Structure 1
Amino acid sequence: MKRIFVVEDDLGIRELLEYLLMSQEYAVKTFPTAGEFQNCISHESADLILMDVMLPDGNGLEMCRDLSKDPQRKKIPVMLMSAHADQSLFDENCVKDFIAKPFDVDDLLTRIRGQLS
């Protein structure tokens, strides 16, 4: 079973993503803050990370850059999400995909499957 970490501070979006991904038979672990995610990623791993850019205690793009420098974590695909950012800002090696909010559920699932295949 593929494991997905979701880093999203908005409770409604986080719960929706958790429900949606679990209904597709993914193992899902969610984090409302950058700090909670960073504590977990130091000793657990995922097959994919779905991360909001704007978090109350961190920046998803900066965390993505940090992951890309970690030899054990750099191969985990990171998909960033944001309602406020221009997709062209994320044309970096660490970002495998960018999801604009609000997102289409079917498109999101298709893109996640693509990253995990």
Structure 2
Amino acid sequence: MDEIDETVRGLDGSLRLLDSLEALRLRLAPEVIVRLALPFEAVASLDLDAPDLRLMRNLSESEPPSIYIMSPGFLDTPHDREEYRLPYSETPWGERFTAEYVCGRSLYERERGWEYSKTVWVNLRQPSN
């Protein structure tokens, strides 16, 4: 599901998307991965500073937030990206969600001197049994 709503910006807009994420999660098999991508503006060098999720500044102007539906095991697939990952200890959306900041680029992008993408991936917290 790409280009959900280009008008979604800021913390309040992201809450609307998280409601959609939860509704979609309930309709799919439990093993299917459902994630919200919040893309930020690309940068020239690897950025180790995760965006402040309460401010939501510098969201990408060219790429809207998107929901990704992935098959089980997709995140374990080998890739050629150089990247930095940092989980957030908490999110402004409460304990139902986890978030991880990822800054990186693929080998193809690196060979061409392209910028690094910056994305915050938001997931529903897995229920504890």
TM-score norm. by structure 2 comes to: 0.27
Q: Which has the higher helix share?
A: 1
Specify which structure has the bigger relative contact order, considering alpha-carbon pairs within 8 angstroms and separated by 6 or more residues: 2
Largest Rg, 1 or 2: 2
Q: Which has the higher strand share?
A: 2
